[in-house]
């Protein structure tokens, strides 16, 4: 393992076989790019940079949805923007609002892309859950602005009807939508990560 702070060039192999630990840790690439390996085994690309004297960071998606090559290309594009006097954070925010990336828009896009190989019954259950339990409450809101509290409020509505298993499934589906949003540059984080441990025994906790 490389010492803390060491900078080295990552490879597909080093990323693929990076093992999870009790706490998140970083694999650091050059020029501000790094990968966070979480205790659950998820691997999140981030780009750290300075603009107007302030240190900032942006999510570049998750591995392997975003490959090493793609992550480097995204990093280089943001470095070029910064060199031109453009704050990559402000530019991404403006792009999101211009596209109108609501939760429902991104969720339906995710569903259309990944449901192709699903059994009809399975696909129907998933889109029905989204339409019944999420779209009426958060569907029209920008996905990048949703928080764990917003998702938890939706889950509590389901739990009020004693539908404990449904609440767990909705949380799983919601997480996949957020991961897709991160991979496609529409969100920087997955707020459902903060709810997984809490919802493990959802019938007792929520």
Q: Rounded to an integer, what distance in angstroms lies between the CA atom of residue 184 and that of residue 201?
A: 31
The mean predicted confidence, pLDDT, of the chain is 85
How many domains does the chain divide into?
2
| Domain that residue 145 falls in | 100-205
Q: Rounded to an integer, what distance in angstroms lies between the CA atom of residue 32 and that of residue 186?
A: 21
**Same domain (yes/no): 41, 138:** no
Q: State residue 116's pLDDT score.
A: 79
Specify if 126 maps to a domain: yes
Identify the bridge partners of residue 48 per DSSP, sorted by sequence position. 57
Please identify, among 40, 71, 97, the residue that sits at the C-terminal boundary of a domain. 97
Categorize the per-residue pLDDT at 141 as very low, low, confident or very high, splitting at 50, 70 and 90: very high
Please identify, among 97, 118, 136, the residue that sits at the C-terminal boundary of a domain. 97
Is the entire prediction scored with pTM above 0.85? no
Contact between 45 and 66 under an 8 Å Cβ cutoff? The reply is yes
**Same domain (yes/no): 166, 108:** yes
Full DSSP string of 62-79? EETTS-HHHHHHHHHHHH
Q: State residue 198's pLDDT score.
A: 56
Specify if 5 maps to a domain: no
**Using one digit for the tens of pLDDT, what is the confidence trace for 33-42?**
999 998 878 8
User: Which of these ranges, 102-111, 139-148, 182-191, has the smallest mean pLDDT?
Assistant: 182-191
**Same domain (yes/no): 190, 170:** yes
**Residue 38 belongs to domain with CATH number:** 3.30.160.390
**Same domain (yes/no): 80, 147:** no
* Section 125-150 average pLDDT: 93
**Using one digit for the tens of pLDDT, what is the confidence trace for 5-21?**
444 578 989 999 999 88
* 113 vs 49, more confident: 49
Categorize the per-residue pLDDT at 163 as very low, low, confident or very high, splitting at 50, 70 and 90: confident
Please identify, among 60, 77, 97, the residue that sits at the C-terminal boundary of a domain. 97
Give Cα separations from 19 to 36, 37, 45, 70, 108 (angstroms).
11, 8, 16, 22, 33
Q: Rounded to an integer, what distance in angstroms lies between the CA atom of residue 112 and that of residue 142?
A: 19
Specify if 81 maps to a domain: yes
**Residue 190 belongs to domain with CATH number:** 1.10.150.130
Identify the bridge partners of residue 102 per DSSP, sorted by sequence position. 142
**Same domain (yes/no): 92, 19:** yes
């Amino acid at each position: 393992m490389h010492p803390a702070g060491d900078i080295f060039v990552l490879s597909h192999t080093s990323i693929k076989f990076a093992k999870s630990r009790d706490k998140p840790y970083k694999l650091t690439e050059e020029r501000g790019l790094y990968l966070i390996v979480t205790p659950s085994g998820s691997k999140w690309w981030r780009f750290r940079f300075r603009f107007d004297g302030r240190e900032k960071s942006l999510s570049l998606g998750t591995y392997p949805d975003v490959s090493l090559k793609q992550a480097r290309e995204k990093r280089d594009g943001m470095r070029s923007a910064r060199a031109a006097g453009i704050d990559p954070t402000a530019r991404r925010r403006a792009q999101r609002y211009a596209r109108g990336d609501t939760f429902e828009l991104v969720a339906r896009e995710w569903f259309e892309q990944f449901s192709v190989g699903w059994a009809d019954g399975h696909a129907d259950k998933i889109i029905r859950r989204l339409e019944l339990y999420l779209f009426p409450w958060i569907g029209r809101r920008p996905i990048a602005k949703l928080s764990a509290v917003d998702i938890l409020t939706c889950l509590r509505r389901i739990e009020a009807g004693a539908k404990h298993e449904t609440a767990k499934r909705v949380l799983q589906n919601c997480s996949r939508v957020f991961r897709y949003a991160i991979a496609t540059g529409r969100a920087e984080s997955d707020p459902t990560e903060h709810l997984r441990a809490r919802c493990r025994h959802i019938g007792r906790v929520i």
